[in-house]
Amino acid sequence: MMQVLTITAVDNGRVEISTSRLLLRAAQENDVDSLYGAFSNAEVMKYWSTTPHTSKEETSKWLSKMILSPQNGVTDFVIALSNDGPAIGKIGIWQDSEIGFLLSRQYWGNGLAREAMIGVLDYLFTSRNLVEITADVDPRNRRSLSLLERMGFVDVGFEEKTWEVGGEWVDSVYYSLSKKVWEQIKKHLYRSHGLEI
């Protein structure tokens, strides 16, 4: 069954994006338990820009910032399962064009990160009218690099020692996706996830 990707404006200028299996929505205070599971997992956070959370209070503080994101220059979405399912991750952009995402470990390998990415990229290129989206990735994060490449992103650079995380300096590989390339590949991506354009 094909489902139409829908982008809906809700209160206070917030946006919700529905895909076949997901609802990308604003963060809510009651997401703390679900998201703590992701943010406290060392494997999930291995290549993130911060160390794993050690308490629900830490996740709650992070969540408070995410709730305010429309006011602080960030477009952040919680990734939740459709039909009032739990929050299973996050996806968003920073500094107007840099995308970042993470997903609870138990949901890896099911195409959910790719499905969330399709929804957010289409929103950013069509509704926000961005012309380019970038990513800054730890070069050891093969899963994220592979996902970005499957979405049409290309490697545009490398820099050593760009982030200090938990006392360790890590490198960055930079990726970019243009609106022109997105327009060329999105039809195929939509079909592969049961979505109509």
Residue 181 resides in a domain: yes
Whether the Cβ atoms of residue 24 and residue 78 lie closer than 8 Å to each other: yes
In the predicted structure, residue 82 carries a pLDDT above the cut 70: yes
Q: What is the pLDDT of residues 132-182, one digit of tens each?
A: 999 999 999 999 999 999 999 999 999 999 988 888 899 999 999 999 999
User: What pLDDT does 191 receive?
Assistant: 78
**Three-state secondary-structure class, residue 40:** coil
Residue 178 resides in a domain: yes
In the predicted structure, residue 2 carries a pLDDT above the cut 50: no
Domain count, the chain: 1
Residue 146 resides in a domain: yes
Whether the Cβ atoms of residue 22 and residue 116 lie closer than 8 Å to each other: yes
Q: What is the pLDDT of residues 20-59, one digit of tens each?
A: 899 999 899 999 999 999 999 988 888 888 889 999 999 9
Q: Look-up: residue for tokens 């209160």?
A: 11
β-sheet with 87-94: strand ranges across = 6-9, 15-18, 22-25, 75-81, 87-94, 98-103, 132-137, 168-178, 154-165
CATH number at residue 23: 3.40.630.30
Residue 1 resides in a domain: no
Whether the Cβ atoms of residue 61 and residue 55 lie closer than 8 Å to each other: no
Whether the Cβ atoms of residue 36 and residue 53 lie closer than 8 Å to each other: yes
User: What pLDDT does 190 receive?
Assistant: 79
Q: Enter the pTM of the model.
A: 0.89
Q: What is the pLDDT of residues 96-141, one digit of tens each?
A: 899 999 999 999 999 999 999 999 999 999 888 999 999 999 999 9
Domain that holds residue 114: 6-192
In this prediction, residues 62-81 reach a mean pLDDT of 82
**CB burial class (10 A; 0-12, 13-18, 19+) of residue 30?**
exposed
Beta partners for residue 92, in sequence order: 76, 100
